[in-house]
Each structure stands twice: as structure tokens, then as C-alpha cells.
Structure 1
């Protein structure tokens, strides 16, 4: 059996069970980083390119969403299932949920339907999207949108795309033991390919002699 197949089988074996609000658990006892990376990377990549077009940042999103309790609970449950995290940051959860509700008025009801489906069927996370697409479920687009929001920090497409989170997005958190996302732009597209030792920059403040 190939190593890749063994890894996928181990992901399948470790990912079943219930929402914390039910008698069984949909979440593994120990979060599986490989599972999060595979599920998040594959699903988010389906929407990342159109999402970042003309993206605008959200600077003043509040910490509290206007969602009702049922929608808030459903979103938290579905998010835990999709990204493999037992504990979610309340502020980030609230901001992402509010952005998704602002982007789609029907998101709350659809999210509750998806939560009910997960509770009743306990599907394999790696097959969930294919199962929903095949069934033509009305909420089939939600896993892609929710995972994109958590991993990339972006909600909406095209001109409606908004950057809700950045340093706390999962795409940055899963590599934080080795990489730190910059808080500023290093330069134009492709600037990272230049050897910094070959770049000569003018000082931000001119030397005193030059100012005389």
C-alpha cells in the first residue's frame, strides 16, 4: 500500500464523530494538521483565484455578529468539522460569520441545514464536497466558502471579495512554526525572487550633509 493511501486512510479513521451539542462527536480527539492542510488546501484552492480579484480589506469589523444563536452554533460546529479545530477564536469566528451573512442573506439558514446534514450522516470530510455536489444540495457551496474564509481570510468573489483576517488565517497559522506572514508589502509581484543583497535602497532620511 502506498504511503499516500495510508495517510488518507488514517485521516478517514480519525475524523468521524459528533458535534459537541449531540451525543456523538464529529471531531477527532487530537486535531490532525495533515487533515486540516489537505482539506483546507484543496477546498480553498477552488475559490482562491476569483476571490482575491479586486479584494478590499475590512479594517473595522466588529467582534460581535448579528447572527441568531442557532446560526452562530451551526457555523461554529460546521467550522470545527471542516477545519479540524476543536477550539475557535470567538472574535475571528464572529467576524467571519458576519462577513458571510453580509455576503449572502441565505447563509444562516443554509449553514443550519449543512450542520443538520453533518450530524445525521457523519460523512468523511475528504468526500463531503463531492457528496454534496453529486446530491445537488442547496448548501453544496458552503464548505468551499467556509474553508476559504478560515484558511485564506477572504469572503466573497470578484468585486465583492473582502479580506477579513490575515495573520490569523489558517494558511498562515499552519506554517507559523517556520514562517511569519509579513505585515507590509516587500515590493511588486515577483519581488521575492530578487536576492536582497543585490538591492541598493536610498535611505528614508537623507544624511545631514545632504540636507545642508
Structure 2
């Protein structure tokens, strides 16, 4: 795992915040865990949202296999760095190592599941996870598959999601533009009421 520096990662750039400093604390001992992190301001939020918008445009053009490979790569990196992630998370949260190890495994497993769903979605008549006999029939499984792809799950609901600007009011404009653009380009899952 890369060494913790106390900097934010905006795009591929390490940026030092200028706001109030915060530090993790081991809840078992009260020990302060370095490094210290500083809050970012409006400029950092605007930059992060602008880069997210640019990345969204490029990612939107990728096909299912490219997206699946991307998710598999993330899962692989999580697995490779699981030991260090678990050690740091245990000291920051006080949670048992066994539970945190399970959380990392569950997360990488879900990413691989989403990747396999993306690959299966390109096969006509595929029912993704359910094989030839999905519960409720093929039509029901197709609806489940559509709602369980990462893109559908990531779609904001009730105005939440996307870049969160925290207490800053002026950065809300960029966040709203980003959310509006996301919603316009992402198919929204049908509500249960509309499906009946």
C-alpha cells in the first residue's frame, strides 16, 4: 500500500489541504495516528467535480468488457493490499482483524460479481448469476441483473450521491451540474410501483 502522506488525491495529483487538521485516533488506546490531514476548500471540491465529469464522459464510452476488466483490476488491488488495509483499519476503528478481513474479501468479491454480470449482459438470453433456471423466470432475472450492475446501483436516488461538497455552499453548483449530467446519462431503475 502506498505510504499515507496526509494529502488528498484529486485526479492523479496529490494535494495538501489548507483547512482544519484532523487525525485518526485508535479508539482502544487513544493514540493519535499519523499523518495529519487538512480539509480542502471550494477550489479542491470544484477541481474534483470537474475531473469526475471529464472521467465520466470517457468512461461512458467504454464497453462492458472494459468496465469488467476495470472492476477486476480494482478487486485485485484490494486483495494485494488487504493485509495493510486491515491493519490500518483495525487501528483506526478498533474492529477485529477477522471482521475487517472479511469486509475486504466481500468487497473484492462483489466487484468481481459485478464484472461477471457485465460480461454476462453481453450474451443474448443470459441470466447472469442465475444460470438457466433463475428464480421467477428469465424476465425477472434480467430485471435483477439490470438493477445490480454497478452503473445502475451507482445512480443517485433522492438527490443523494455524486460529489458531496460537505458544508461548503458555493461548491454546490458544480455538484448539482455533475448530478444532473449523471442522471441524464444513466438509465434509472424503475420503481417497484411502476413495475406492477
TM, length-normalised to structure 2: 0.27
Q: Hey, which of these two has a bigger chunk of strand by percent?
A: 2
Greater RCO (CA < 8 Å, at least 6 residues apart):
1
